[in-house]
Chains A and B, each alone.
Chain A
Amino acid sequence: MKGYLTRLGIRTKLVALFVAIKVVPMLLLALLAWQGVTRLGREVSDRSSRMADSMRDTVGELSDVMAKESVRALDLKSRELIERLTTDTALAVAEFLKARDNDVLLAAALEPTEADFERFLRNRTRALVVPGKWVLSGDEKSWLQETKQTTRSERIEPDNPENKLDFNYRPPDHSSLREERPLYHEMTFVALDGLEKVKVSATGLLSRELRNVAQKRNTYACAETYFEDLKRLLPGEIYVSDVIGPYVRSHYYGAVTPEAAQQAKIPFAPGKEAYSGRENPLGKRFQGIIRWATPVVRNGKTIGYVTLALNHDHVMSFTDNLMPTEARYTPIPDASNGNYAFMWDYRDRNIAHPRHQSIIGFNPKTGDYETPWLEASIYKGWKQSGKSLRKYLETVPAFDHQSREKKPSVELIKEGIRGLDGRYLNFAPQCQGWYDLTKQGGSGSFAILWSGVWKLTTAATIPYFTGKYGKTPRGFGYVTIGANVDEFHKAATVTKALLDTRVNVYSQQMKQTAKDTRDMIFSSMSKTAWSLAGMTTLMIVLVILIAVWLANMLTGRVTMLSGGLQKIEQGDLSFRIGKTSDDEMGLLADSINRMADSVQSSFTHLEGARQRAEEANRLKSVFLASMSHELRTPLNGILGFSELLKLDLQDAEQRSFAETIHSSSEHLLNLLNDLLDLAKIEAGRMELKLVSTELKPLLVNVTAVHRAHAERKGLVLTEQYAPELPATLLCDPTRLVQILNNLLNNAVKFTASGSITLSVECLEHALRFAVSDTGIGISKDQQQRIFDKFHQADNFLTSEHTGTGLGLALAREFVTLMGGEMGIESEPGKGASFFFLVPNR
């Protein structure tokens, strides 16, 4: 790392420093800012989304609660209203019945004559809604009133603006056809023996014959038994009968249409089936009567009984046209929509119903009640018992575990018998509910799931207690009204639906807003990010540019300084660095210039000295060369003539003188040659002639000369050559011979006795030549100086040994020139070994 750092230039380091100090924090800041912005965006987005969700939930919950509360409130309000309608109706019925009490009491005061009776009845009428003409609809699935009522509904606006708020006008009801109908079918005077004495019929329902009513078969539907009761009446007491009329059957449950007939596999004959309000407007009506009777007393004695047979239609009219809805009234009852009113007598037998087959009636053939619509198991039990129905039903508890789970008798349905007797209608649990509400003469309501819809069903006792009706708190019976609960709170559910829609729309809007917000945040975030990135990049570029500029400025000056130094270093000592500033760089330039001054002066001085030294050296070489040449000529004469003398002198002494002159001059020649070589080496003019030389012959020639000398001194010269010695060696043979001659010469010269060995070893890249002797040896001191020029082991003049003193120095110079080295191993007295290495190329 350190090494890597040191290799970098100042500029790189400066830029890196700037980047580290400026760019990295900037990137970190940008990163932090980006993270912050991202988190903020995410947070805001999440929160707005959560806010939208919770807002939607809250509004939704609120609307739910509101709707629920509204439904509850409306249900309660509706219940109250319908309960009130029920009780009001029950009261009206009771009042109506009481008026009949008055009628019969008044009738008792009349003379029992047809004229009086006619007069009495003439004004006893009451308006009834008549169904009008009905025909099947085009698709034959329902019935339509043929003669449409022309209803002119004019909108009435309040004249006084202060009445404007919630001004609600309801036009007169023109929907119903009303006709005045006689209250009573007939008025009779019955003698004490049961024979009818006077009879005035207002309608054609009852027989106009005067009959013995003690006989049941002579009564309406062969069912009246009132004469027995009449006999027990005290003057002023009133008898009121049950509702009596022949039962009307229907094989339909619902609209009587050709399609329904086809399904039931019966011929389509609406006129033969029971009237069922809108479901079958053409059907046979239940024609019932309620007979009032009271003793006719004359002079304190009962002379007979006056009876009034009330047309039951007038009683039924109290519930037939009632609607527990905004419509309030209906021209024709309709059980199919679930909103309708009906009546039951004190024994829970139905006496008024939109469907006349539901009204309990008599079988005129037996004069007994027709079988009511029994729950399947009761019917089955009855059939198995073999008893008469009356006897059997005495054994069956009333309201026995009534439940929707139970089923009606299918057999009776097939017969078209559906008269409703609440006590045995065990598949309709509401019957028991009505009983519970009225058994103490009260009223009330409850909700029940019937035919798949929740219905509010009310019951209110008809407080009419005349005659036998006074035996129980239930009086005449009770009015019930059934109403679809959904209708009550329709407004609330509509509002709820509206609210839900609004909530959905609002929630969509919120979602859209949240999405828009999120998009805006993200777009803003991305803009911020881009500008952040842009700014950061710009800053980084700026910082790097500044760094490069600064670095350039600094390194430029440094480069200038180093360039100047380099010029000076390369020899341009006169070069001086221009001073550009007075700062540290300027001081540095000054210092360098001063240093250059000093170097230049030193260098000039040194150069002169060197040139003088070289000149002196050259002169020395020239002098030596010329001296050797000049010396050669006289030496030539001395050598030549001394040799001739040596050859030609006859006198032995003279000849020895000549020999001395000759050998002295030979020595002088050697000295001269050595000096010449040395001079050449020092002048650098000595060059080696490298040739591939055969080693063995060279060694043989060299040793031959020295062996002769050695043997003359009684020495042994041995040769030891390595077996792997190469045949040839690249070397300068002349100089190699010169070196070996020198060493062997010295060895022979300095060895008194013993042996001399020439050895050649093969090293890895060189040959090691060594000349060893058993001579006087050389001390460590002398080993240091032995290769110096003009050195001899002992003083030249005093020694017996003679030599030039240049031999070893020359030899070492040659070895060095050959690329090898020379050395010595010796101890005084133990001989010496001179060796040298010649590279083996």
Chain B
Amino acid sequence: MKKRALIVDDTELNRKLAIAILRREGWEAEQVACGKAALAMLKEDCNFDIVLLDIRMPDMSGEEVCGTLRADPRTAKIPLIAYTAHALEDELQGFRDIGFNEVLVKPTNVEAMRAALAKVLVLPKLPEEQG
């Protein structure tokens, strides 16, 4: 059974790239474009191995979404990765402090995604790709 990931980002490009990388890594990926949609989806189906959460979104911020998820016992344990362009080190630590398991900085790449996922999940080591 494939791992499932939920991508929450208001930017379609970002969502597409994340899905492309995850699928290339053998993941199943759902996507929503805002925080409320994410909360609504997770309320019905919290069967995700990971949630990739953008911070700057129009309806509610990634921090708010994280706070709401962590407050709900059903979703409190879902691994959350902050998917952000806020690249400063202290900001990164701040995300971890409010409940994110890992931070993935945009722009991202395959290696960074793999590292972030590896840190959050115990993933089987994929064979080295060519290139």
Tell me if B17 counts as interface (CB < 8 A to partner A): yes
A372 to chain B, nearest CB (A): 164
Distance, CA A581 to CA B14, complexed state (A): 79
Whether B21 lies near A640 (C-beta < 8 A) is yes
Whether B13 lies near A647 (C-beta < 8 A) is no
Whether A640 lies near B107 (C-beta < 8 A) is yes
Residues of A within 8 A of B16 (CB): 637
Q: Which of A27-35, A312-320, A627-635, A708-716 contacts B (4 or more CB under 8 A)?
A: A627-635
Contact with B along A660-683 (1 / 0, CB 8 A): 000001000100010010000000
B114 to chain A, nearest CB (A): 12
Whether B13 lies near A643 (C-beta < 8 A) is no
Whether B107 lies near A641 (C-beta < 8 A) is no
B19 to chain A, nearest CB (A): 11
Closest to B106 in A: A636
Tell me if B85 counts as interface (CB < 8 A to partner A): yes
Residues of B within 8 A of A644 (CB): 17, 20-21, 24, 110
Residues of A within 8 A of B21 (CB): 640, 644
Closest to B107 in A: A636
Tell me if B131 counts as interface (CB < 8 A to partner A): yes
Give which listed residue, A632, A646, A648, contacts B24 with CB less than 8 A: A648
Whether A633 lies near B17 (C-beta < 8 A) is no
Residues of A within 8 A of B17 (CB): 636-637, 640-641, 644
Distance, CA A689 to CA B89, complexed state (A): 10
Contact with A along B87-131 (1 / 0, CB 8 A): 101100000000000000011111000000000000000000111
A690 to chain B, nearest CB (A): 13
Tell me if A526 counts as interface (CB < 8 A to partner B): no
Known contacts A633-B11, A634-B13; A639 and B107 CB within 8 A of each other:
yes
B21 to chain A, nearest CB (A): 7
Tell me if A734 counts as interface (CB < 8 A to partner B): yes
Most buried by B among A637, A640, A655: A640
Residues of B within 8 A of A634 (CB): 13
Known contacts A629-B85, A636-B108; A647 and B131 CB within 8 A of each other:
yes
Distance, CA A639 to CA B106, complexed state (A): 10
Distance, CA A633 to CA B87, complexed state (A): 13
Residues of A within 8 A of B20 (CB): 640-641, 644
Whether B14 lies near A636 (C-beta < 8 A) is yes
Whether A636 lies near B24 (C-beta < 8 A) is no
Distance, CA A633 to CA B13, complexed state (A): 8
Known contacts A637-B17, A644-B21, A648-B24; A632 and B131 CB within 8 A of each other:
no
Residues of A within 8 A of B131 (CB): 646-647, 655
Residues of A within 8 A of B109 (CB): 639-640, 643
B108 to chain A, nearest CB (A): 6
B37 to chain A, nearest CB (A): 19
Residues of A within 8 A of B24 (CB): 644, 647-648
B26 to chain A, nearest CB (A): 14
Whether A636 lies near B85 (C-beta < 8 A) is yes
Known contacts A641-B17, A646-B131, A648-B24; A632 and B110 CB within 8 A of each other:
no
List residues 598-646 of chain A with CB under 8 A from any CB of chain B. 629, 632-641, 643-644, 646
Whether A633 lies near B85 (C-beta < 8 A) is yes
Contact with B along A453-476 (1 / 0, CB 8 A): 000000000000000000000000
B83 to chain A, nearest CB (A): 10
Whether B11 lies near A643 (C-beta < 8 A) is no
Residues of B within 8 A of A641 (CB): 17, 20
A654 to chain B, nearest CB (A): 13
A441 to chain B, nearest CB (A): 168
Distance, CA A634 to CA B21, complexed state (A): 16
List residues 9-33 of chain B with CB under 8 A from any CB of chain A. 11, 13-14, 16-17, 20-21, 24
Known contacts A633-B85, A641-B17; A647 and B11 CB within 8 A of each other:
no
List residues 77-91 of chain B with CB under 8 A from any CB of chain A. 85, 87, 89-90
Closest to A659 in B: B131
Distance, CA A648 to CA B87, complexed state (A): 28
Residues of A within 8 A of B90 (CB): 689
Residues of B within 8 A of A646 (CB): 131
Whether A633 lies near B14 (C-beta < 8 A) is yes
Distance, CA A636 to CA B24, complexed state (A): 17
Distance, CA A644 to CA B21, complexed state (A): 7
List residues 101-160 of chain A with CB under 8 A from any CB of chain B. none
Distance, CA A527 to CA B10, complexed state (A): 111
Known contacts A636-B13, A637-B13, A648-B24; A643 and B110 CB within 8 A of each other:
yes
Distance, CA A424 to CA B108, complexed state (A): 179
Closest to A639 in B: B107
Whether A632 lies near B106 (C-beta < 8 A) is yes
Known contacts A640-B21, A647-B129; A633 and B106 CB within 8 A of each other:
yes
New A-B pairs, 14, CB < 8 Å, besides A641-B20, A734-B89: A632-B85, A632-B106, A633-B11, A636-B106, A636-B107, A637-B17, A640-B21, A640-B108, A641-B17, A644-B17, A644-B21, A647-B129, A676-B87, A689-B90
Contacts from A to B (Cβ < 8 Å):
629, 632-641, 643-644, 646-648, 655, 665, 669, 673, 676, 689, 734
- The 9 A-B residue pairs with the shortest CB-CB distance in the complex, in nearest-first order: A636-B107, A640-B17, A637-B13, A639-B107, A632-B85, A636-B106, A647-B131, A643-B109, A635-B107
Q: List 11 A-B contacts (CB under 8 A).
A: A633-B11, A633-B14, A634-B13, A636-B13, A636-B14, A636-B108, A637-B107, A640-B109, A641-B17, A644-B17, A644-B110
